[in-house]
Structures are given as C-alpha cells and as structure tokens.
Structure 1
C-alpha cells in the first residue's frame, strides 16, 4: 500500500513538474508564436484621444485578481474552459437566460472552484482505489483528471438546470401576466404604463423582465428594440412572439387588448400540450414499478399455492 501511494505521489509530482516546465517554455519569447496583432503593434500610431461612447475593453475585477495571483496558469485554465464549455458570447447569453447578473469571468471562476473540488475528490478516490484495490497509477491519474472534468461539467449542467427552471416558471406566469396587461390596456392605459403597472404590482421572473424592459424604454431605447431584447433575455419562444406582436400592434394601430388575449390563449394551449406530453412520459415511467415489482408478486402469489399442493402430494 505504501509503495503504491509513493508511486502515485511521484507520478503526481512528475506531472506537476512537467506542466510547470511546459508553461515556462511556452512563455519564452523565441518559442512563443506571435500573431498578426503583435507583429504590427509596434508600427501603429496610438491616439491619445478616445471616444466617450466607446465600450470599455478592460476585464472584470475578479479576472484581474485571479490573473495577478496565478499568472499564466489562470490564462491557460480560462482558455481551456472557454474551449470546453463554449465562448464568452454564448456563455453571456446563457447567463442572461438564467437571470444571473454576474459576469462571464465570475462564472469561469466558479467553474475553476468546481474543478478544484472535483480534483480533490478525484485524488481521494484515486488514493482509496490504489490503497484498497491495488489499482495502477495510470488509473489513479485518470480518476483525478475525470474528477476535475466532471466538476467543470457539473457547473455547466447546473446553469442549464437554472435556465430550464426559469423557463418553466415564466411559462406558468405568462398567461396571467398577459391577461393583466390586456385588462390594463383595455382600461385605457398605454402599453408601457401597463407593463410598468404589472411589474410594480406583481412578483416573479416575468414581471422583473418587464421592469427591465420599461427601464430600457425610459432610458431612450425604442419600443421595438426593447421588446426584441426582452425576447433575447428570456428562454421562452412565446415571449419573442409576444414582443413582435406588441410592437407590430403599436406600429399599425391594431387593438392591443385583443392581441394580448390571443397571446395568453396561445400560452395556455401550449401549457396544456406540454402537460399532455409530460403525462405521456410519466405513463411510460409508471410501467417500471408495475413490470418489475407488481407483476412478479402477482406471479409468485399465483404459482406458490400450486407448488405447495405438489409438494404435499409428493
């Protein structure tokens, strides 16, 4: 056992030494590949003036802190995470669909934390497998790498679960919210005032998104653009159709109350259809206890008296 543990420790130390030397060699100037931007950068003229409306290009504070603490290791790890779970734009959209206001770098740091926890659990399982089952060092290294990978994938899976739950919650809230909007518009309020009233008097994920849409419109964004961004921030297709229908009704002068009632009725029909599909899936799952638990008991109760009679006659 002690020999296997020492072998695993030696393999881990050798792996860490090899990774450290590889990173050192990759940072050497004459061995590092230079891209086109770095080649032409010394020949560009820098302007001291900058536009007031230019988007900031600085990284977030969390990313700067991690990069200052860990150096090139953090850059490599964040690059591997981007290649493993998608780019920054895709992750930004998924975070907005989940209703999270954190930055992409903060989520990457959470993935690194989950990977570290999975790495520690993998080391514990690998040591237990080597000491108790006499497993090889290569299997221990595979378990350690698998633990880190599963930690990263687990954080990404939890984000997908958050998106699914938020979508189901919005789907339940949408028919009621659409009816409230229809009542407010039919009472004489404007669409923006109706959305503001619903956001102020209701609670939930969808009223919060309506509050953000009203804030965008108050800040100068056009109604069509604000409603289009509402569809991109939410994981429901019916909200995209809702934004398009409301913007078209406002532009063409269509009675908005009828449009909202039709949207609510369509949402209820979609919810009924989804409920029927879920009931069909649950019906299949209900066959599992019937086949594996109930039917064997029925067969035992049917056959046991006959076997008992045969034993008595014999």
Structure 2
C-alpha cells in the first residue's frame, strides 16, 4: 500500500473516531427519559427503577443489547457461581444484578478480543503467515478480559471492606455518644447516618431504611450481620441487636465494640508486619549481604593477586 492510501485510511479512522466522541458527548449531556421519570415513580420496583444499564446507549446499544444478554447468559452457564457473584456484588455495594455483571464481563472480553484482533492484523501486514497464533491470542484475550472483570470485583470487595473496618470504630463511638446523650437507638442511628459519610454509613442507612419501613431493630441488625462478610461488623450488629432486645446499656456495648474493632485492627497490623518481616529479609540476604562481603574481601583478593 502506498503512502497516500495509508494517509487516507488514517484520516478516515480519525474522522470516525472524532464523530463517535462528539456523538457520545452530546448524548451524555442529554439526560435519559428513565433518569427524569424514575424519581417520581416511588412505588416502582427497585430492580426495575435502577438506571444501571451497563450496555452503551443509543441505537447501537439497543441493537447490541440482545446479543450481549445472550453472551452474558452463555458466560454464566460456563463459569457458574451466580450465588457467589451475587454475594460479592452485595458486599461491594454495587447496584447491579448478576446478569448486568455478566454483560460487563462480556464487554471486557470483547475489549481484549479487539486488542488481539488489532495485533493479529498488524502481524499479518508484516507478512507472518501463521494463522493459528492470532486465533489462540484472540481466544486467550477474551477469556482474560472476562476473568479480569471478576478479579476486579474481588478487589472492589476488599477495598470496600477495608474502608468499612477503618470507619467502624468512629461510627460506633458516634452512636455511643448519641445514645449517652439521651437519644434512642433509631434516633441515634439517624443522626449518625446524616452526619457521616462512607461505606459503613451506607450500610447503616440501609438498616435505618428497613427500620422505618416497619422491620424490628433487632431483625434489621441481624440481617446486616448475615449479609456482611466481615466478622467485626457481624459482631457489632449482633451486639447492638442483643443490647436492644435485652435492654443492656447500649452506650457501653458500643464503646466495647469500638475498642474490639481497634484491637482487631492492631492485631492485624502486627500479623501483617510479621509476614512482611520475612519478605524484607530477601533483599538483605540476597543483595546487601553479598555486596558487603564483596567490599570486605575484594581488596584482599586484589592484594594477593598482585603479590603473585
């Protein structure tokens, strides 16, 4: 191919890319009908009211949605583990269904597939005749994209749970202060949720919403203990539920829970430091010690060589 042809192709690709970017920006600036209407439909099913369509909008997205849904169902049948995915989505605080997550996995896999296809086209242009390697690379890129999205979900769960553990002592102390000032459990929970922000406050906001819909306080905290993946949060929820049910002084229980969480964090820090101590010995033994020995014995070795 001559230089004018390459220039024309590159210009065409640049024009198409610019048009796509401009069209997408114009579409994002215009709020969708669902976003404008859903706030006024308070009796709508929450699963239907969510605006979590992970498929790109517009006519292209509408045309691609059925195919993506079928591909997501196929990925779900091959990988399985829908119960684990649902639980991890809940622990990560993501407002999406399992099928929405599978669609995201398909999109990540398609991204890897497109990258592998581009690599294969460049390889074919350079004159490599082997067709098996690009095909295997495309399959591997798609599988890697699907698995990377699941790995990303696991990292989101870990980061959110780490934030919850860091916030729990302060939130427990705030609840204890509110209860000690004379407020009831629900009023103290409402005050702390309104005054604080964070992942654990979001969980407590869900507990407060269930209490306001008529669910007993003990049942709401028991549900929080059952759905969380953190033992410290489960102990906190069980302790609050038992204190409310049996009439135990709630302020003392909350102070004890905060101290327990801080002690657990201190123990975890000591354990991580002990594990890192072994890792820190690797550069000392394999890098610093040989260099020190070399500096100590090299002058003597040179002196012996010169004496002979």
Fold agreement, TM-score > 0.5: yes
Q: For the structure 1 residues 252 and 53, does the alpha-carbon distance in structure 2 shift closer, same or farther, using more than 3 Å as the test? A: farther
Q: Which residue of 1 aligns with 2:97?
A: 103
Q: Which residue of 2 aligns with 1:217?
A: 211
Residue aligning to 1:44: none
Structure 2 residue aligned with 1:231, among 221, 225, 236?
225
TM-score by length of 2: 0.74
Residues 86-114 of structure 1: CA distance to partner in whole angstroms, max 9, x if unpaired? 44443222112111123333322221111
1:194 and 1:278, CA in 2 relative to 1: closer, same or farther beyond 3 A? same
- 1:272 aligns with 266
Corresponding residue number in structure 1 for 2:300: 306
Instruction: Report if aligned partners of 1:130, 1:140 keep a CA contact under 8 Å in 2.
Output: no
Deviations 1:51-85, CA, capped at 9 Å, x for gaps: x9999899998489999735874454212321355
Equivalent residue, structure 2, for 1:21: none
Distance in 1 separating the partners of 2:237 and 2:101 = 29
| Corresponding position of 2:4 | none
In the aligned structure 1, how far is the partner of 2:114 from the partner of 2:180?
60
**What are the equivalent positions in structure 2 for 1:277-292 lying under 5 Å apart?**
277-292=271-286
Distance 1:61-1:273 versus aligned 2 partners, 3 A rule: closer
For each residue in 1:250-288, what CA deviation from the matched residue of structure 2 results, as whole angstroms up to 9, or x when unmatched? 111111122212211211121111101110122122122
Return the TM-score normalized by structure 1.
0.73
Distance in 1, Cα, partners of 2:253 & 2:304: 75
How far the C-alpha of 1:224 sits from its partner, in A, is 2.3
- Farther-moved stretch of structure 1 (204-213 vs 228-237): 228-237
Deviations 1:126-165 (A, max 9, x none): 5567777968433332221111111011111111111101
Q: Secondary structure at the match of 1:151?
A: helix
CA deviation vs aligned residue, 1:182-212 (integer Å, no higher than 9, x gap):
1211221111111111111112111121122
Taking a change above 3 Å as real, the CA distance of residues 55 and 305 of structure 1, as seen in their structure-2 partners, is closer
Partner of 1:159: 153
Stretches of structure 1 lacking an aligned partner (at least 5 in a row): 1-51
The aligned counterpart of 1:141 is 135
Q: Following the alignment from structure 1 to structure 2, what is the Cα–Cα distance between the partners of residues 255 and 198?
A: 18
Q: Is the 8 A contact 1:60 1:105 kept in 2?
A: no
Unpaired segments ≥5 residues, structure 2: 1-42
Q: Distance in 1 between matches of 2:109 and 2:72?
A: 12
Whole-angstrom CA distance in 2 between matches of 1:192 and 1:113: 43
Q: 1:112 aligns with which of 106, 116, 126?
A: 106
> What residue number does 1:181 align with?
175
Provide closer, same or farther for how the CA distance between residues 254 and 160 of structure 1 changes in structure 2, counting only shifts above 3 A.
same
Structure 2: distance between partners of 1:300 and 1:133: 51
Count of aligned positions? 263
